[in-house]
Amino acid sequence: MFDVRLYGDPVLRKTAEPVEKFDDNLKRLVEEMNETLRAEDGVGLAAPQVGKSVKVVVIDTTNGEAEPVVLVNPVIVESSEEMITSEEGCLSVPGISLSVPRHAVVTVKAFDLNGKEFKIEKADGLMAKALQHEIDHLNGIMIVDHVSVLQRTMLSSKLKKMAKSGRDKSQVS
């Protein structure tokens, strides 16, 4: 199991590298990400959130009833004009929930663990939100980037404290 990186960790602001090798290392990474996702009781987890700057995402919208969906090198290829704003949390920003506007429907192209391309067509609801949230992580974007400057200013002391505690914790390991 991995430690989840917190706001302020530089890996969360990098654009992740595409996966080029679909090998046992990738499978081990995904196994540990799935374990971490379950332990943290999350809906989605992107590799940068566990300190790995590669384009890998796991999503479980079933609350543990099914295996998480694994997306390698995911790309949003189509999104609706309709937007929906709803509350979102993030494992890398614990204790903070923000109203984030997202496309109501998205289609995502990705690869599975064996390098086979697939599409998630016209995802909506929680799956659409999770796909956009996790793909944002692969591009160094966090939920705090989707809110107004005023909201971010109001959160700044919490975020600074989180960034400091995250650095202190990561220096220990």
**Domain of 87, in residue numbers:** 10-172
Contact call for residues 103 and 128 (beta carbons, < 8 A): yes
Structure confidence at residue 166 (pLDDT): 61
Q: What digits encode the pLDDT tens for the residues 111-142?
A: 999 999 999 999 999 999 999 999 999 999 99
Catalytic residue chosen out of the listed positions 20, 81, 117, 134: 134
Return the amino acid letter for 82. E
Find the distance separating the first CA and the last CA of the chain, reported in whole Å: 14
Total domain count for the chain?
A: 1
Q: What digits encode the pLDDT tens for the residues 142-169?
A: 999 998 788 877 787 788 888 777 654 4
Q: Is residue 52 part of a domain?
A: yes
**The model's pTM:** 0.90
- The beta-strand segments (E) located in 20-138 are 44-46, 56-59, 69-79, 83-88, 98-103, 106-111, 117-123
Is 134 marked active-site? yes
CA distance 85 to 52: 29
Is residue 93 over pLDDT 80?
yes
Question: Which CATH number characterizes residue 82's domain?
Answer: 3.90.45.10
Q: Is residue 5 part of a domain?
A: no
The residues pairing with 103 across neighbouring beta strands, listed in sequence order, are 83
Q: Is residue 42 part of a domain?
A: yes
